[in-house]
A and B are shown apart, each in its own frame.
Chain A
Amino acid sequence: MTSVPYEQPPSREGPGRRLSRFFYRHPRLSLALLLAVPLGWLVVAYLGSLVVLLLASVWNTDPFTSEVVHTYTFDNFRRLFDEPVYRDVAWRTIKMAAFVTVADAILAFPIAYYMARVASPRTRNLLVVAVLMPLWASYLVKAYAWRTILSGAGVLNWALGPLGVSFDGYSTTGLWLVFTYLWLPFMILPVYAGLERIPPSLLEASADLGGKSLRTFFRVTLPLTFPAVVAGSIFTFSLTLGDYIAPKLITSQQFIGTVIYDNHGTNLPVAAAFTLVPIVVMVVYLLVARRLHAFEAL
C-alpha cells in the first residue's frame, strides 16, 4: 500500500464486494475454504469408512448373538490363511476378473476403432448413444434378464438346441458372459477416446515412410491406444472383483463379493478382513496401470 490516499467510496461498497476483496487478499484462505467440502467428504466419508473397515477386521464377534465385540484379535486373518476356502474364492474371483477384462478388451477394440476411425459423425453419435444406453437401465434388471436368457428353458439353449448343444448357463462360464456384457461400455469409452486422441499426422507419417495399413496398426495405433485399454481394464477388473449380485443370481459359486455379503451381518470382522484382499489386489493393479501410463489415458 502506498501512502497516497486515493479516492475510496466506502459508502457505496456492499458486503459482497468487501468479502470478495478479503478473499482476494488471502488466497490461501480462499483455497482452503474451496477445498474444505470436497476434501471433508473424501476424508470423513470415504477414508473414514475405510479406517472403520480396517478396525473392524481385528475385532471379534459374540459367538451367540453375532454382535461385534471390541476386543482385538488376529484370528480373522489367521482364518483367511488357514482355511483353503478363502484362498480358492479369492483366486476364482481374480481369474474371473482377468478373463472378463480380456474378453471386454477384445470385444471393445473393434467397436471403438470403428467409432473413432471409420464411422461418419452421424453414425458415431448414434453408436456412442447405443453404447451408453445399457447404462441407463437398472443393473438388477439386466442381471435378472440374463438369468432368464441363461436358464435351461431360456433363449440361449433354445437357439443352441438345433445344433444339439446344451449350455449350463448357471455356471462360471455363464457368469463370465454376464460380466463381459455388463462392463463392456466401461471398456469401449476409454478405448474410443484413446483412438480419437491419436493425431492423424502420425498415421500419415507412417504411410509416408512406407508402412502398410496392418503395419501402421500394429506399430503405431495399437501401442498408442494400449494405455487406454489399460485404463478401461481398471474398470472392468475392479467392477468384477467387487460384484456380488450377478454371482448370487447366476451361479452357485462363491466369489469375494458374495462371501463378504454373506458374512457382513453375522461375522462382520471376517468380512472386513476379507475386503483387504480386493483392496490389496487393486492397489497392485493400479500401480502397474500407472507404470503403463493408463492414468494419462483416463
Chain B
Amino acid sequence: MTRQHRRVAGWAAAVLLVGALAFVAAGCGGGGGGGGGGGDTGSQASTAIDGLGTTLDEIKSKAKDEGEVDLVEWPGYADKSWSNQFTKTTGCKVVTKDGGTSDEMIDLISTGQYDGVSASGNASVRLMKRGDVAPVNTDLIPNYADVAPGLKNRDYNSMDGQPYGVPHGRGPNLLMWRSDVVKPAPNSWSAIWSPSSTVKKKISIYDDSIFIADAALYLKATKPDLKIDNPYQLNDEQFTAAVNLLKSLKPNVGEWWADYAKQIQSYANKDVVIGTTWPYQENILKGDKKPVAAVKPKEGTTGWSDTWMIYSKAAHPNCMYLWMNYIISPQANAKVAEWFGEAPSNPKACAYTTDKNFCTAMHANDEAYWKNIYYWTTPTADCGGKGGTCKTQKDWVNAWTEIRG
C-alpha cells in the first residue's frame, strides 16, 4: 500500500468504527428500555397479541394464513405422532427446538424466533416476570375447561389470578438404574449420595443448577436439624450444606447430562449404571429392551409441572393458540403423556391412553402421591414469599460452576 492508500483505508475504517459504535450504543439503549418496560406490564394483563384473532373462528382462519408454529419444547412434547394430526386439521406446520434445561429454554425463547414454549416452573415464573410470555384468554381455548382444577391458577402458571398458559402435564424426576448391575433394587436417594463401590464413577447426574434442590431434598430427609422446608428456598446454612454434599458427590459422578440422548447412550453402554432421569429416557431404554428400572425414592423427589406459554411477540399467535388448545385435548394429551411418561393435565385423557391403566400407574388423580414431589421453581431472595433471606437464582448458577470444578 502506498501512503496515500493507507490514509484512505484508515479514514474509511475510522468512519465505520464510529458508525458501528453509534449503532451498538443505540441498540443497547433500546434493549434496556424494552427490558424495563417488560417487567412492569405484568400487573395490567392484557391478552391481546398483535395479529391474534378475537374469536375462535377468526383464529382458525388466520392460522391458515400463518401456516406454521415454532415451539421450544422438552424433547418429545410435540412429536410427529400427534403434531401431524394438528397440522392436518389446522394447516399449521409444527417446527420444534428441544431444550435441555429451563435456562436453555429461556435463552431460546428470548431470541424472539419462537411462538411458544413448554415451560417448567423454574422457567415459567421468570418468563412471566420478564414479559417474554403473554397472558392467555382461556375463552379462546375451549379445552382449558377440562384441565384438572388443581393445576389451574398456580403461582407457576398465573400472575395476579390471570392464567399465562395451559397446564400440559406433570411428572417426577426418577432414580434410574441398570437392574443387571445394581442389586438389590434401591429405594432411597442414598444410592447416589452414599454410593456403593459398584456404582462409584458410574453415576449420572442432571447438569443444571436446579439439581442443588435434589441435594437439599436428601438433606431434608436425612439432616432434620437443617430445618429444610422447601428445597428451592434455602438460607445460607442450608445452601452451603447442599453445595458441600454435591461437591462430595462429584468424584463419584460418571457423567453429567443435560442432553437426554447422551444419557440414553451412556445407560445403554453401561458407562453409567445409576442416576437421575426423566421418565422419557426410561421409556426409550425399556423400549430398546435395556435392563433398566426406575422409581420415585422414599424421600420423595423433584419434579415438574409444565405449561405451554405463548411468546408475547409471537409471529404466529393464531397457530399457537390452536396448539395450546390441541395439546390439552383428551386425545393429544393422552398421547404425549404416555410418550413422555407423565401425568396428563386433562383427566379426560385417561380414557384415550393405549395402556388403560396408564393414569393409575402415573398417579394422575392420586394427590397423595404428588405430596412429596417438589415441582421445579425459581429460588428467590425472599424465600418464595415466606420471609427470611434465601439464596437467589444467580447464587445457584454461580455455585453450580464451582461444584462442577
Q: Do A and B come from one complex?
A: yes
Contact surface of A with B, Cβ cutoff 8 Å: 28, 31-32, 35-36, 39-40, 43-44, 47-48, 51-52, 55, 61, 63-68, 70, 79, 83, 85-86, 88, 147-148, 151-154, 170, 248-249, 252-254, 259, 262-267, 270
B298 interface contact, C-beta 8 A: no
Complex alpha-carbon distance, A64 and B92, angstroms: 35
- Chain A nearest Cβ from B200, distance in angstroms: 13
Per-position binary interface string of chain B over residues 269-291, scored 1 when its CB falls under 8 Å from any chain A CB and 0 otherwise: 11100000000000000000000
Q: Is the CB of A44 within 8 A of B16?
A: yes
- Chain B nearest Cβ from A102, distance in angstroms: 25
- Chain A nearest Cβ from B85, distance in angstroms: 31
Choose the segment among B217-225, B343-351, B394-402 that binds chain A (4+ C-beta atoms closer than 8 Å): B394-402
Q: Is the CB of B17 within 8 A of A52?
A: no
Query: A36-B16, A153-B269 given. 6 additional CB < 8 A pairs?
Result: A36-B12, A55-B24, A64-B380, A86-B401, A254-B404, A266-B103
Q: Contacts A32-B8, A152-B271 known; A48 to B24 CB distance under 8 Å?
A: yes
Which listed residue, A31, A68, A249, A265, touches B9 by the CB 8 Å rule? Answer: A31
Q: Is the CB of B381 within 8 A of A266?
A: no
Q: Is the CB of B401 within 8 A of A85?
A: yes
B28 interface contact, C-beta 8 A: yes
Which listed residue, A68, A83, A85, A151, touches B269 by the CB 8 Å rule? Answer: A151
Complex alpha-carbon distance, A124 and B126, angstroms: 59
Closest to B255 in A: A252
Q: Is the CB of B393 within 8 A of A252?
A: no
Q: Is the CB of B255 within 8 A of A170?
A: yes
Q: Is the interface of B mostly helix, strand, loop or mixed?
A: helix
B193 interface contact, C-beta 8 A: no
Chain B interface residue count, CB cutoff 8 Å, equals: 52
Q: Is the CB of B398 within 8 A of A267?
A: yes
| Residues of the A chain whose Cβ atoms lie less than 8 Å from the Cβ of B60 | none
- Chain A nearest Cβ from B17, distance in angstroms: 5
For window 1-58 of chain B, which residues contact chain A by CB distance below 8 Å?
Answer: 4-5, 8-9, 11-13, 16-17, 19-21, 23-24, 27-28, 32, 35, 39
Q: Is the CB of B16 within 8 A of A39?
A: yes
For window 360-405 of chain B, which residues contact chain A by CB distance below 8 Å?
Answer: 378, 380-381, 392-395, 397-398, 400-402, 404-405
- Chain B nearest Cβ from A298, distance in angstroms: 19
Complex alpha-carbon distance, A266 and B108, angstroms: 12
| Residues of the A chain whose Cβ atoms lie less than 8 Å from the Cβ of B11 | 32
Which listed residue, B17, B106, B269, touches A154 by the CB 8 Å rule? Answer: B269
Complex alpha-carbon distance, A64 and B123, angstroms: 11
Q: Is the CB of A70 within 8 A of B32?
A: yes
Complex alpha-carbon distance, A249 and B265, angstroms: 11
Contact surface of B with A, Cβ cutoff 8 Å: 4-5, 8-9, 11-13, 16-17, 19-21, 23-24, 27-28, 32, 35, 39, 103-104, 106-107, 126, 129-130, 209, 253-256, 259, 262, 265-266, 269-271, 378, 380-381, 392-395, 397-398, 400-402, 404-405
Which listed residue, A52, A147, A267, touches B397 by the CB 8 Å rule? Answer: A267
Q: Is the CB of B5 within 8 A of A270?
A: no
Q: Is the CB of B9 within 8 A of A252?
A: no
| Residues of the A chain whose Cβ atoms lie less than 8 Å from the Cβ of B129 | 64-65
Q: Is the CB of B381 within 8 A of A67?
A: no
| Residues of the B chain whose Cβ atoms lie less than 8 Å from the Cβ of A263 | 397, 401
| Residues of the B chain whose Cβ atoms lie less than 8 Å from the Cβ of A68 | 35
- Chain B nearest Cβ from A267, distance in angstroms: 5
Q: Is the CB of B405 within 8 A of A266?
A: no
- Chain A nearest Cβ from B366, distance in angstroms: 33
Complex alpha-carbon distance, A65 and B27, angstroms: 21
- Chain B nearest Cβ from A210, distance in angstroms: 45
Complex alpha-carbon distance, A79 and B19, angstroms: 33
Q: Contacts A64-B380, A85-B401 known; A265 to B17 CB distance under 8 Å?
A: no
Q: Contacts A36-B12, A152-B270, A267-B397 known; A44 to B20 CB distance under 8 Å?
A: yes
Complex alpha-carbon distance, A263 and B104, angstroms: 10
Q: Is the CB of A28 within 8 A of B401?
A: no
Closest to A148 in B: B265
| Residues of the A chain whose Cβ atoms lie less than 8 Å from the Cβ of B23 | 44, 48
| Residues of the A chain whose Cβ atoms lie less than 8 Å from the Cβ of B5 | 28, 31
17 A-B interface contacts by CB (under 8 A) = A28-B4, A31-B8, A31-B9, A44-B20, A66-B126, A66-B393, A67-B35, A67-B39, A70-B28, A70-B32, A79-B398, A83-B401, A83-B402, A154-B269, A170-B255, A254-B401, A266-B394
- Chain A nearest Cβ from B207, distance in angstroms: 8
Complex alpha-carbon distance, A148 and B255, angstroms: 14
| Residues of the A chain whose Cβ atoms lie less than 8 Å from the Cβ of B266 | 151
- Chain B nearest Cβ from A271, distance in angstroms: 10
Closest to B12 in A: A32
- Chain A nearest Cβ from B25, distance in angstroms: 9
Closest to A92 in B: B405
Closest to A261 in B: B104
Complex alpha-carbon distance, A141 and B70, angstroms: 26
Q: Is the CB of B393 within 8 A of A63?
A: yes
Residue with the highest number of chain A CB atoms closer than 10 Å, among B27, B381, B394: B394
Q: Is the CB of A61 within 8 A of B16?
A: no
Q: Contacts A32-B8, A153-B269, A249-B262 known; A66 to B17 CB distance under 8 Å?
A: no
Closest to B201 in A: A168
Q: Is the CB of B17 within 8 A of A47?
A: yes
Q: Is the CB of B12 within 8 A of A39?
A: yes
Q: Contacts A31-B9, A66-B393 known; A43 to B20 CB distance under 8 Å?
A: yes
Q: Is the CB of A52 within 8 A of B24?
A: yes
Complex alpha-carbon distance, A63 and B104, angstroms: 17
Q: Is the CB of B130 within 8 A of A67?
A: yes
Q: Is the CB of A252 within 8 A of B256?
A: yes
Q: Contacts A64-B378, A147-B265 known; A270 to B398 CB distance under 8 Å?
A: yes
Closest to A85 in B: B402
- Chain A nearest Cβ from B238, distance in angstroms: 18
